A and B are shown apart, each in its own frame.
Chain A
């Protein structure tokens, strides 16, 4: 921090430049961000509050509250919550096992590398992998039938369903959790554990009273990030289900391709709704992270 503070004010340099042209250095970035990030988003947001002939209206937002769109948001939110929650719990367990669990040292490296790969292995190929494994003729489906006589599809399992999609999303949610939470677990000071032990706390008590309250902000924060991560995912679901499962990104995809809602401005409102949901999730993440940093310093 000190080195940065020292570099804040370079008065002698400012004199040397003469003309105030320093802002030109930020111009390429400003143009890029405005043209390809901010303006397109603003266009959608403004469009959500306008009628076809350009007059301001709230009708598009109101129109979102029709059963088919509400149910799309609802199932999207449920899948995102479920995959984020399970991703957090399982990812936390794996990260804790690797960092604090007295496992052999060499395990950590491969786990972290694999997490880096798996968290980026999303989209269309991921859906292929699960179809090949848990589809109707997938490896696990067939083996379950041949070895144990269990037909998982007869038991009601379906990859193209709420739980099916959640199971698939976990493939990138769990590794992302491992990557984000491991540094937080590394930040847990050994003294805290020792202090708890000396005061007679059991392992469970240490986790419940000491460790979890410290980790809670970063756990909840990562939850928000995972939520936004799966809420915006399109490719995996689209390749897996076509358009048979109406989650918001799929509906929006169909809307952009062919105006299935037959109202372009309702499409803007749909997209605006997505920004609002992921914006709230990320806002929580940022806020909680700022709170965590007090502890991990």
Chain B
């Protein structure tokens, strides 16, 4: 009985702590018009051309980051499982490094290593900086992406699938793209949605590389407006919630249920 009282107490503290900022933000975002609640702050945000520009910039960056992440992570995780199981601890260690090295330090290195007087002057042009930022995002999402894909590969019999495909005459591209990838698609998707959530809200890398992304825009509005930041926070929270919802959805569609249907 006492255990239950303690449990409810812990849960209640948690609910109060997490609900208050959310309620506070929603309430604040509606306060723009004096004396009554209105959606004026949201209207202002949606009518701001910079909102549309920075948001679509970040969405495009997120999609590219996901594509690059998949292209790098899936073949690597597959190849390590197939041919280099002994290298697994090393590869796993490298993929976890972005959790150890703070993003601000990584981007600091980028700025110095790829400056205009270096061998690879990526920061010299807008396109180059975009590529650099995308690679930075791919680095940030590497721990989550790799772990998701590796878990997905563990669930299937990589070796048998590969040998079956080979005996039917498939090359490596076909094996990876048409046999392995569809089988780990659920894992890839959950990694992808997490990457999306990370990229949309990312601030440090975009700010220090001077790219017009959503994160720096949020910061700019926060420094200059009163009620609009709260509206943006609500929007950002909804996006995060949406991405996590998609991950849940993807996990529920397990490979087994798909196999039975087809």
Residues of A whose CB lies within 8 Å of any CB of B are 4, 7-8, 10, 22, 25-26, 28-29, 32-33, 35-44, 47, 90, 93-94, 96-98, 100-103, 107, 111, 113-114, 116-118, 120-134, 138-140, 170-171, 174, 203, 225, 228, 231-232, 234-235, 238-239, 242, 249, 252-253, 256-257, 267, 271, 274-275, 278-279, 282
23 interchain pairs, CB-CB under 8 A: A8-B85, A22-B83, A25-B76, A26-B84, A28-B72, A28-B76, A33-B94, A44-B105, A97-B8, A97-B11, A98-B7, A98-B11, A101-B7, A120-B244, A124-B219, A127-B222, A131-B229, A132-B21, A132-B233, A235-B201, A253-B207, A275-B102, A278-B102
Residue of A nearest to B226 (CB): A137
**B22 interfacial contact with A, CB 8 Å:** yes
Interface residue tally for chain B (C-beta within 8 Å): 86
Q: Across the interface, which residues of B come within 8 angstroms of A10, CB to CB?
A: 83, 159
**B164 interfacial contact with A, CB 8 Å:** no
Q: Across the interface, which residues of A come within 8 angstroms of B6, CB to CB?
A: 93, 97, 101
* B222 close to A128 (CB less than 8 A): yes
CA distance A276 to B85 in the complex (A): 30
**B51 interfacial contact with A, CB 8 Å:** no
CA distance A225 to B136 in the complex (A): 22
* A102 close to B3 (CB less than 8 A): yes
Q: Known contacts A4-B85, A123-B203, A252-B104: does B20 contact A140 (CB below 8 Å)?
A: yes
Q: Known contacts A36-B138, A125-B236, A238-B203: does B10 contact A120 (CB below 8 Å)?
A: no
Residues of B whose CB lies within 8 Å of any CB of A are 2-4, 6-8, 10-11, 13-14, 17-18, 20-25, 27-29, 71-73, 75-76, 79-81, 83-85, 87, 91, 94, 97-113, 120, 135-136, 138-139, 142, 158-159, 194, 197-198, 201-204, 207-208, 215, 218-219, 222-223, 229-230, 232-233, 236-237, 240-241, 243-244, 247-248
Kindly identify which residue among A33, A120, A125 contacts B218, using a CB–CB cutoff of 8 Å: A125
* A203 close to B219 (CB less than 8 A): no
> Sorted from nearest, which 5 A-B pairs have the closest CB atoms?
A40-B109, A101-B7, A133-B24, A232-B102, A132-B28
Q: Across the interface, which residues of A come within 8 angstroms of B99, CB to CB?
A: 225, 228, 282
Contacts A93-B6, A98-B7, A253-B104 known; list 15 others, CB within 8 Å: A33-B94, A36-B135, A38-B94, A42-B109, A43-B113, A90-B14, A94-B13, A97-B8, A101-B4, A129-B21, A129-B230, A138-B24, A203-B2, A225-B99, A235-B202
CA distance A28 to B135 in the complex (A): 13
Kindly identify which residue among B142, B201, B248 contacts A122, using a CB–CB cutoff of 8 Å: B201
* B215 close to A103 (CB less than 8 A): no
Q: Known contacts A103-B11, A249-B102, A282-B100: does B201 contact A36 (CB below 8 Å)?
A: no
How many A-B pairs have beta carbons closer than 8 Å: the answer is 265
CA distance A169 to B18 in the complex (A): 12
* B11 close to A231 (CB less than 8 A): no
How far apart are A293's CB and chain B's nearest CB, in angstroms? 14
* A249 close to B11 (CB less than 8 A): no
* B18 close to A171 (CB less than 8 A): yes
How far apart are A66's CB and chain B's nearest CB, in angstroms? 20
Q: Across the interface, which residues of A come within 8 angstroms of B72, CB to CB?
A: 28-29, 32
CA distance A153 to B158 in the complex (A): 61
* B28 close to A253 (CB less than 8 A): no
Kindly identify which residue among B18, B23, B24 contacts A118, using a CB–CB cutoff of 8 Å: B18
* B24 close to A132 (CB less than 8 A): yes
Q: Known contacts A25-B75, A90-B14: does B94 contact A37 (CB below 8 Å)?
A: yes
How far apart are B185's CB and chain A's nearest CB, in angstroms? 20
* A228 close to B94 (CB less than 8 A): no
Q: Across the interface, which residues of B come within 8 angstroms of A134, CB to CB?
A: 21, 24
